[in-house]
Amino acid sequence: MTPQKHRMIGPLGRAPLWFLSVGVVLPMCSTPAYAYLDPGTGSILMQAIIGTLAAGAAVFAGLRHKIGAAIFRLKNGSDTETRNAQDHGGDKA
């Protein structure tokens, strides 16, 4: 008996050949885009990137504050009434 070679059946077995054929045929079918980007496009993209980074930093800071407060409550117990009374000049024991 000779060992049989296993062939993959289905679209995954022929995926490399399919990608190769698309990679060769697709550039042959392309046409020029005739697109124009004016000089202001770069500044709009920079504003979008900076705005996204600023929003992400604000979300991260808010989450960090909430997580820190939760850890502080776990570490010091739930004595919020005592802390609130002391903060406002009261004496609650």
pLDDT higher than threshold 60 for residue 17: yes
Instruction: Dihedral sign for Cα 22, 27, 33, 39, please.
Output: positive
The residue among 79, 75, 78, 76 whose CA lies nearest residue 92 is 79
Kindly give, in sequence order, each residue whose CB lies less than 8 Å from that of residue 91, ignoring residues fewer than 6 positions away: 85
pLDDT higher than threshold 90 for residue 1: no
Confidence of residue 38 (pLDDT cuts 50, 70, 90): confident
pLDDT digits (tens, 9 = 90+) for 46-93: 999 999 999 999 999 999 999 998 888 888 876 555 555 555 555 555
Are 79 and 85 contacting, i.e. CB atoms less than 8 angstroms apart? no
